[in-house]
Amino acid sequence: MPHDDFAFEPVKGLPERPPQDEEILWQGSPNWWALARESLSLKWVAGYFVFLALWRFVVVVDLMPLGRAIQTSVPFLVLGAIACGLLTLIAWVQAKATVYTITNKRVAMRIGAALTITLNLPYRCIGAMQLDLRKSGTGTIAMQTLGDTRLSYLMCWPHVRPWRMARTEPALRCIPDAANVAKLLANAAEARVALPEITRMPMPDVVAAE
Q: CA angle, 159 as apex, 101 and 15 as ends, to 5°? A: 40
Alpha carbons 119 and 110: distance in angstroms, whole number = 7
Q: Residue 170, by phi and psi: left (phi above 0), alpha (psi -120 to 50) or beta?
A: beta
- Whether residue 145 contacts residue 127, with contact meaning beta carbons closer than 8 Å, is answered with yes
pLDDT at residue number 8 = 61
DSSP state of 206: P
**85 and 112 part of one domain:** no
Q: Encode pLDDT of 22-78 as tens digits.
A: 899 999 999 999 999 988 889 999 999 999 999 888 887 777 777 888 888 888 899
Predicted model pTM: 0.81
**189 and 136 part of one domain:** yes
**67 and 153 part of one domain:** no
**82 and 169 part of one domain:** no
pLDDT at residue number 203 = 47
**53 and 76 part of one domain:** yes
**131 and 186 part of one domain:** yes
pLDDT at residue number 100 = 96
CA of residue 17 relative to chain centroid, distance:
23
CATH number, domain containing residue 181: 2.30.29
Q: What are the backbone dihedrals phi and psi of residue 11, each rounded to the nearest 5 degrees, phi first?
A: -135, 135
CA-nearest of 120, 121, 142 to 131 is: 142
Does residue 185 form part of some domain? yes
**87 and 104 part of one domain:** no
**183 and 105 part of one domain:** yes
pLDDT at residue number 197 = 53
Structural domain including 176 reads 24-30+98-194
Instruction: Please list the pLDDT of the chain residue by residue as tens digits (210 residues).
Output: 444 454 566 788 888 888 888 899 999 999 999 999 988 889 999 999 999 999 888 887 777 777 888 888 888 899 999 999 999 999 999 999 999 999 999 999 999 877 888 999 999 888 889 999 998 889 999 999 887 778 888 888 899 998 888 889 999 999 999 999 999 999 998 887 766 554 455 545 544 444
CA-nearest of 54, 6, 56, 2 to 27 is: 6
